[in-house]
Amino acid sequence: MTEAMTDGRTALAAGDGRAGMLGPHGSRLLHGWYATGGPAGLDEHLGRYGPPPFPRTADAADRLIRAVEDAGLTGRGGAAFPTGRKLRAVAAGRGTAVVVANGMESEPASRKDETLLDLAPHLVLDGAALAAAAVGADVAHLCLPHTRQDQADALREAVGERQRVGTDPFPVQVHELPHHYVSSEETSLVRWLNGGDARPLATPPRPFEKGVGRRPTLIDNVETLAHLALIARYGPGWFRGAGRADAAGTTLVTLSGALRTPGVYEVPMGRPLGEVLDVAGGAAEPLAAVLLGGFFGSWLPVGQALHVPFAKQDLASLGAGPGAGVIVALPARACCLAEAARVLGYLAAQSARQCGPCRLGLPAVAADFADLAWGDPTPELMRRLEGRTGLLAGRGACRHPDGASRFAATALRVFADDVRHHLSAGPCAAAGHEPVLPVPDTPVPADREWR
């Protein structure tokens, strides 16, 4: 069963819609949407969940952090780092901490954070305020792209309403940042909040050591914070009621491509990828491959992908990961190399241009991939492309070249038959077809557009 949002932008997987039910096989973050069919205002939110259980003492703050550790919550923004470990590191830092909720969602194929903020904004705001109380922060920031002006305005209204009724010990500050691919990187948020450009910083120090205002800074994805808000209320045992022992809880995924009902869904962690695609109605036509993790992600051949559990540990053995919950089903009719070439061209244009791999290496790889997809490729081109791709990872000032390298390398491996066809017969007819992946037509940002 699925239920579409009224504007048709996305569809949501239905769990148990009974009011008050928060079970392992039902919806959690999106439970309110199924209970009422609409976004939750503050009165409805408080009626359903009660006020946030803020820790009032150091011992209570430690118990909240321990609950998150025991729950096994990992970050839902891409890296899947243990959230409790981040909380404890920031709480142990020197000086008053800062909390940053990352709602930038720079992946063009992702809609989960935008959907969550639309439908359950107060769960995210609860989570940001609870995290701040747990680590001893005196301020929390919510970062959004400036392209979502209506959502930013709605969240400011929600923050104001919470302040009027005294829900939080201090308000969450909502910010609108430049919307570039690397602007969602955690050091980009720190740099912008400190008055600079929304471009990544070289590390160390990491933000948990010296971040906003050179203070210990916790940066978490908005979905991660919403899960934290529920763990604070229901405990780690409840959270572990969904998923697996080593991949706990539910997660939001954005399913797109050749599926019958693409959209944003909530699924238990560890479910086989084929079952995850089934919640979107399954494949609408024969598939060639699945992209996991978005434009920084990895390609898997469809025969391999459908059986692997959607969990960090299982995907890592295949050189992949859950990332930010982006899953794209690529139809067999598409030119896989043309799809990859468009993405690499976009990533080259969206780099911060702060180091050699981004200024020189990534554009060269993108140009070679374009020749492979649409030009007259030669064996020499392939040798050059494989060599350049191998030189990108681990050499940049940020992780942008690493993600692009992984995307390109897995495309060359998974689409090896297509490479051989292009080398022997030239571009296929599908290379000029309408693209499947949602690659924005975005020019190279001018320097002033980073601020």
| Residue 447: burial class (beta carbons within 10 Å; 0-12, 13-18, 19+) | exposed
Q: What topology does CATH give the domain 336-435?
A: de novo design (two linked rop proteins) (1.20.1440)
Cβ(334)–Cβ(284) below 8 Å: no
Query: pLDDT tens digits, residue range 324-372?
Result: 999 999 999 999 999 999 999 999 999 988 888 888 899 999 999 999 9
> For every one of its 451 residues, what pLDDT tens digit does the chain have, with 9 covering 90 and above?
233 332 333 343 333 333 333 443 468 999 888 888 889 999 999 999 999 999 999 999 999 999 999 999 999 998 889 999 999 999 999 999 999 999 999 999 999 999 999 999 999 999 999 999 999 999 999 999 999 999 999 999 999 999 999 999 888 999 999 999 999 999 999 999 999 999 998 777 899 999 999 999 999 999 999 999 999 999 999 999 999 999 999 999 999 999 999 999 999 999 999 999 999 999 999 999 999 999 999 999 999 999 999 999 999 999 999 999 999 999 999 999 999 999 999 999 999 888 888 888 999 999 999 999 999 999 999 999 999 998 888 877 788 889 999 999 999 999 999 999 999 999 999 999 999 999 998 878 877 788 8
Q: What is the pLDDT of residue 26?
A: 62
Distance CA 404, CA 425 (A): 27
Distance CA 437, CA 439 (A): 6
b/e code 181-220 from CB counts within 10 Å (16+ = b): bbbbbbbbbbbbbeeebbbbbeeeebbbbbbbeebbbbbb
Query: pLDDT tens digits, residue range 283-326?
Result: 999 999 999 999 999 999 999 999 999 999 999 999 999 999 99
Strands, DSSP E only, in 302-406?
Answer: 326-331
Cβ(331)–Cβ(257) below 8 Å: yes
Residue 336 phi, psi (nearest 5): -60, -35
pTM of the predicted protein model: 0.93
Strand partners, 142: 101, 174
Nearest to 403 by CA among 254, 255, 293, 273: 293
DSSP secondary structure letter of residue 359: I
Q: What is the pLDDT of residue 191?
A: 96
Q: What is the total residue count of the chain? A: 451
Architecture, CATH, for domain 19-244: 3-Layer(aba) Sandwich (3.40)
Topology alike, domains 19-244 and 336-435: no
Domain ranges for the chain? 19-244, 336-435
Strand partners, 330: 289
Cβ(76)–Cβ(124) below 8 Å: no
- Tokens coding 219: 């940066």
